Each structure stands twice: as structure tokens, then as C-alpha cells.
């Protein structure tokens, strides 16, 4: 990958891990990172790479068409990988317009620029949430061919973005690929997400608030395995293809909470069940057989291996997540976002703990 690469959202969780994969393997020597640096964008994630001049960082908004077109005209990218997105479901229930602007308008703006300035490949990083809810007691799995059926504003915005990417391929023959991953975990994940959030709470002997009955099931994927899958898609896949990327590790949220408590030697009494969030999907499960059979990818880490690396990273980088929690008041904000009730007008309002 010696050509000029643009990685949007590169100061975020998955984007920064992907950048590290490329730089660790010396796969690219001309990487430009674009990030708006919203609350979840963190320059600390890539500061060492900027300092060593392994990458070039530019702050900007993918939904700002004038800026994006000037930027693409100047840089002439060969490859664009779009990690930039608003991703937190809870926040999308309160401020869906922000998700539409970044995830939908932002993606279309990038596609327009790619078409205008001759980008050779555009890769969209998507999510299994676009498929919707498999439901309780289901034995089915998400395949790339099932209809999209999103239930949250976040998932709907990502589904819309996917459809725009597909339309750019079908209408304008813009060379694109899409990957849809299951729940990621690993280093540099913003502490509002379940695993890092529960880890820092349990470390402080604080209650772990589990939605509903805690039996919502997700497939868990180590972020480094996800990044390796994306790299393989870029290297080996023809344009126009969609790939599911999963970790083959389904567990309910209660099991994940118990695993964290066991690692830290804390009591399961810290688990606290709180009122469920709106439209909380019961089960996601990825069928990754397409990428396994066509491109030869499989996750290198078992969940036990990946979570051990993740927890060890948390322990070694306590200052990293403590700084974020203090700056963004994660505990206070999470309570507001996650404990809610429905008013008579059916609008979500906060419920005092």
C-alpha cells in the first residue's frame, strides 16, 4: 500500500488501530488522517505516530463539502477508508440528526469527492446493526444478502450510508467495498462502550448498570482481527463486494460483565440491572463465511486471548482512560443516556437514578 491513503475517523477507536496495523507492518508510507475530533476522537490515540511523522493529521468534517473537495483536489488520494461515524446507539436516541449528518451526508460527500477526483477505491466500514434484530431463541445468522432492517437511528444512518455506497458502485462504477463487523473491543476504545465502561467502573468498585435482563447477545470481535480483515479486503477483493466480519463469540451482556469482574477479582454483586433502553435489539450474530472462503481470513485471536490483551492494555494505560472519563464526565453522561423511561408523548426523557 505505497499509494496515498486517506483514513477518515483515524483518531477514533478502530481507525487508530487500523493505522497502527499499517505502520507496524510498514504497509504504507503516505497516510493522511482526517478526523473532526468530536468527543470520541482522541489525538492521544495517534500522537506518537504524528510526532514520528509516520502519518499526517488534518482536522476536518467529512460533511463539509467545500472543505472536502478542496482537500481531495490538493491531496489526490488513491484510496479512501471511511471509519468516520457517530456510533453510540444511546446518543442516537437523543440526537439522531447528528448521526444523519455525519454518517449519511458525510459518506455521500466523500463519495462525491472520490468520483470527482478519481479515487481508485473507497472502503466503507459499517456494522452488523444495519441488519436489525435476530430476536430471542433465533438460530439464524446475518449474511451479506439479507435485507437491511435497522431499529435505532444509529443503525438506520449506517444502513443509509451503505446504500449510498452501493449506489455509487452501481450508478457511477466507483470502485467500492463494504465491511460489516460485529461488536469490537480492544485498545483505545472510548470508555462509554460496554467493555471499557464496565472495566473502569469495576476497577473503582462502582455498580455495573446492565440494561433490562442483561440477556442481549452480541458477537465479539478483537479490533486487531477486524483491522486485518479490512486490509485483506483492500488487497484481495474485487470492487462492489460486501463482507461480514465476526469473531465467532456470542455472549450475553451479563456474561461479559461477569468476565470483567472475574478478571479484576471483584464481586458479581456489583452487577445492577437498570431499565432497558429503547428498541434494544436482542441478538446479533455474524456469518463470516464469505470472507473466510473467498479471502482466507479468520480471526487470529480467541476471545480469551483478545480480552486478556485488552485488559492488560487498560491496566497499563490507566491514565489514558482516566483522562477521558474526567474530561467528558463519562459516568454522569452514561447515566443520563442509559436510564430512561417513555413519557405519555412517547418521547425519551431522562429518569433520575
What digits encode the pLDDT tens for the residues 227-262?
Answer: 999 999 999 999 999 999 999 999 999 999 999 999
Residues 6+ apart with CB under 8 A from 99: 86, 91, 92, 153, 154, 157
Please choose, from the candidates 198, 124, 213, 195, the residue with its C-alpha nearest in 3D space to the C-alpha of residue 164. Answer: 124
Per-residue model confidence as pLDDT tens digits over 141-176: 999 999 999 999 999 999 999 999 999 999 999 999
pLDDT category at 325 given cuts 50, 70, 90 is: confident
Please confirm, yes or no, whether 314 is among the known catalytic residues. Answer: no
Mean pLDDT on 92-107: 96
Q: What CATH architecture applies to the domain 5-189+221-249+279-301?
A: 3-Layer(aba) Sandwich (3.40)
Catalytic residue from among 35, 86, 90, 129: 129
Q: At residue 311, does pLDDT exceed 80? A: yes
Catalytic residue from among 35, 90, 112, 128: 128
Q: At residue 336, does pLDDT exceed 50? A: no
pLDDT at 252: 96
Q: Report pTM.
A: 0.91
Catalytic residue from among 131, 154, 197, 243: 154
Please choose, from the candidates 266, 292, 275, 279, the residue with its C-alpha nearest in 3D space to the C-alpha of residue 209. Answer: 275
Mean pLDDT on 92-108: 96
Q: At residue 338, does pLDDT exceed 50? A: no
Q: Are 40 and 188 in contact (CB under 8 A)?
A: no
Please confirm, yes or no, whether 268 is among the known catalytic residues. Answer: no
Please confirm, yes or no, whether 332 is among the known catalytic residues. Answer: no
State the CB neighbour count (10 A cutoff) for residue 131: 25
Amino acid at each position: 500500500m505505497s499509494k496515498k491513503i486517506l483514513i477518515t475517523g483515524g483518531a477514533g477507536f478502530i481507525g487508530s488501530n487500523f493505522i497502527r496495523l499499517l505502520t507496524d507492518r510498514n504497509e504504507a508510507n503516505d497516510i493522511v488522517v482526517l478526523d473532526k475530533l468530536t468527543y470520541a476522537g482522541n489525538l492521544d490515540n495517534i500522537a506518537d505516530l504524528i510526532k514520528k511523522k509516520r502519518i499526517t493529521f488534518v482536522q476536518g468534517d467529512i460533511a463539509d463539502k467545500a472543505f472536502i473537495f478542496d482537500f481531495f483536489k490538493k491531496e489526490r488520494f488513491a484510496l479512501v477508508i471511511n471509519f468516520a461515524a457517530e456510533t453510540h446507539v444511546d446518543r442516537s436516541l437523543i440526537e439522531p440528526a447528528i448521526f444523519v449528518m455525519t454518517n449519511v451526508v458525510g459518506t455521500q460527500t466523500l463519495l462525491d469527492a472520490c468520483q470527482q477526483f478519481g479515487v481508485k477505491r473507497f472502503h466503507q466500514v459499517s456494522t452488523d446493526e444495519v441488519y436489525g434484530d435476530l430476536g430471542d431463541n433465533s438460530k439464524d445468522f446475518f449474511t451479506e444478502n439479507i435485507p437491511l432492517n435497522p431499529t435505532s437511528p444509529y443503525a438506520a444512518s449506517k444502513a443509509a450510508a451503505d446504500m449510498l455506497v452501493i449506489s455509487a458502485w452501481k450508478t457511477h462504477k466507483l470502485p467500492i467495498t463494504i465491511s460489516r463487523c460485529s461488536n469490537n473491543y480492544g485498545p483505545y476504545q472510548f470508555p462509554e462502550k460496554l467493555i471499557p465502561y464496565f472495566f473502569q467502573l469495576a476497577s473503582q468498585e462502582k455498580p455495573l448498570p446492565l440494561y433490562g435482563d442483561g440477556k442481549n447477545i452480541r458477537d465479539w470481535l478483537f479490533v486487531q482481527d477486524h483491522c486485518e480483515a479490512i486490509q485483506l479486503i483492500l488487497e484481495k477483493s474485487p470492487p462492489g463486494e460486501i463482507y461480514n466480519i465476526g469473531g465467532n463469540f456470542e455472549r450475553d451482556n451479563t456474561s461479559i460483565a461477569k468476565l470483567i469482574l472475574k478478571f479484576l477479582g471483584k464481586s458479581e454483586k456489583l452487577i445492577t440491572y437498570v431499565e432497558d433502553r429503547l428498541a434494544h435489539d436482542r441478538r446479533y450474530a455474524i456469518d463470516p463465511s464469505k470472507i473466510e472462503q473467498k479471502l482466507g481470513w479468520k480471526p487470529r485471536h480467541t476471545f480469551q486471548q483478545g480480552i486478556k490483551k485488552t485488559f492488560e492494555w487498560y491496566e497499563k494505560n490507566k491514565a489514558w482512560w482516566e483522562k477521558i472519563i474526567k474530561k467528558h464526565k463519562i459516568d454522569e453522561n452514561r447515566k443520563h443516556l442509559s436510564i430512561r423511561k417513555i413519557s405519555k408523548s412517547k418521547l425519551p426523557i431522562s429518569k433520575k437514578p
